[in-house]
Structure 1
């Protein structure tokens, strides 16, 4: 009898273990909730549909036990180098003076940071931002100083204004009307956050900014705490959309701090959007003219996303594959 009881007990324990091992976590909307103690890694998230090829490049690093920092740099360089992507890097739409100016930042698991803003003539500003992080005592270089640093580091100077963008700019000059529209991907950003097999987080964010902006305008993308923030004890977040609104609430730092207080990535993104909504109403601005989206990832590999109005999507690559997901949103009508 004792042997039989031990057998049954052992079998029951084994059955529970198998069941738990097979459980991959439940989904509530965009949010993935994992069993307590389980970590889903590696995983990489990025904004918009160009996140699919960007994620693929990042995954090549992550699947080979690579560092999250290397993954996010490799990932965002894909849209940066694509002349057909009109809101990032080479091919990005110019400012109102016809100059393509780029912004980018990067942050690793040790809170090392690097950033460039209003950088011209360099195809991969994210790599210049990493060089600022690793090879200078500073965290941000801008304008001509950023360009001179890049050239001194061996980056190649080249014309970033592709023919199609130049043609559109000249057409825009006929009226010079400046009314950025929500969810038009000619003024959006690729932000990428990743958790590697070692359990470390990193992030990158890069953009050519608002099309036909005033020369010298800088949005949230190169600002640590606004367009990107990583805390390796808690999680990471990145943003896209109208940068002025993200800067107003230091959005990504807010998302990460909300996760520190116990919110899930999804709830943290929702609360950050709620903050933007509240301030927009206080300022008597039309919410329908604004779009901001956040994506967030915590140390367990749980993720979430939320935006002001419908139309924002993001890409997720984990053990289940590379998928494009429509984010939930606040403005339902």
Structure 2
């Protein structure tokens, strides 16, 4: 039987013993937390992925969930009025409507997306609510807007003055010819300052400190597209796919060709078979070439992937594709993706 005095003495001795332990032993728990955080990683498409990654990293570095990180990350370009490819300020369709597409997917295979959504800046957040609050995966058009407004989102005008000027200038000839890698160019066919004809997206993939994966993808779509056109970005398996046992993939570029090959799902399945992320992305690009060899020479499509080990890679049809990487060692790494042509 241990009496009160004995218990107190043992407690004091135990506390004193801890004081005598080496500092590295006392810091073991903190060290383990740091090691856990070091597993975290976020990657995203294009140069503007650097800023997006930083927002995602702010969550990951505090051992936050990958799903929260990718949502926070892609919301950065969605709100950037200088980014005319994503969110508010994106170039409109040929009828003057700014329509947004987005999707999100978590480590459990849950997913949600919105298509042709108007008047809401953060399409990715609406997509997450579709995933979490409805029995559906996709909501489109007026239905998606109604759902967003019912859940507290504010209706606003997404067409900025710059985008409206570009659209009105485009209407003079109404020629539709997407420019490759416009994100890295300052193409000004109408001699409007800062005017960039564009057709791209941000796709983001993250691994959190628990080793779980999530992904998000959001875009305003091709500039001056037909009203109602939807690309690959909000389509699970095309613009984005995550399998927590294997890895995740996302795409950018001309979505029609990604849809035809179910590109992101293909990349993940190739990684399941043992392909590295880069090799899987390359094979997916080659499938596009095999289906439409002549078309493939005139367009850009790029894939970005990460596997469960944290290995990442990318491949594109044409030169010029870039992707951003952020981890515990470096938060602003930008890598030029390899290409076929």
TM-score, length of structure 2 as denominator length: 0.84
Work out whether 1:326 is the aligned partner of 2:324.
no
When the two chains are superposed, the root-mean-square deviation of aligned CA atoms in Å is 1.2
Partner of 2:92: 94
Aligned counterparts, 1:37-116, within 5 A: 41-116=39-114
The CA distance in 2 between the partners of 1:229 and 1:326, in whole Å, is 22
- What's the CA shift for 1:296? 0.3
Q: Unaligned 5+ residue runs, structure 2?
A: 1-35, 184-197
Partner of 1:291: 300
Secondary structure in 1 matching 2:297: helix
Secondary structure in 2 matching 1:289: coil
Partner of 1:230: 242
CA contact (8 A) 2:37 2:208 kept: no
- What's the CA shift for 1:183? 1.4
Partner of 1:263: 275
1:81-120 alpha-carbon deviations (Å, 9 max, x no partner): 0111000000100000000000000000000000000000
The CA distance in 2 between the partners of 1:128 and 1:270, in whole Å, is 32
Secondary structure in 1 matching 2:163: helix
TM-score, length of structure 1 as denominator length: 0.86
CA contact (8 A) 2:113 2:131 kept: yes
- What's the CA shift for 1:54? 0.0
The range that moved more, 179-188 or 97-106, is 179-188
Secondary structure in 1 matching 2:77: helix
- What's the CA shift for 1:287? 2.8
The CA distance in 2 between the partners of 1:41 and 1:165, in whole Å, is 40
Q: Unaligned 5+ residue runs, structure 1?
A: 1-37
- What's the CA shift for 1:288? 2.7
- What's the CA shift for 1:318? 1.1
The ranges of structure 1 where at least 4 consecutive aligned residues each deviate by more than 4 angstroms after the TM superposition are none
Partner of 1:316: 325
- What's the CA shift for 1:40? 6.5
Aligned counterparts, 1:190-209, within 5 A: 190-209=202-221
- What's the CA shift for 1:204? 0.1
The CA distance in 1 between the partners of 2:52 and 2:114, in whole Å, is 20
CA contact (8 A) 1:52 1:323 kept: yes
Aligned counterparts, 1:16-35, within 5 A: none
Give the number of equivalent residue pairs.
291
1:123-176 alpha-carbon deviations (Å, 9 max, x no partner): 000000000000000000000000000000000000000000000000000000
Partner of 1:145: 143
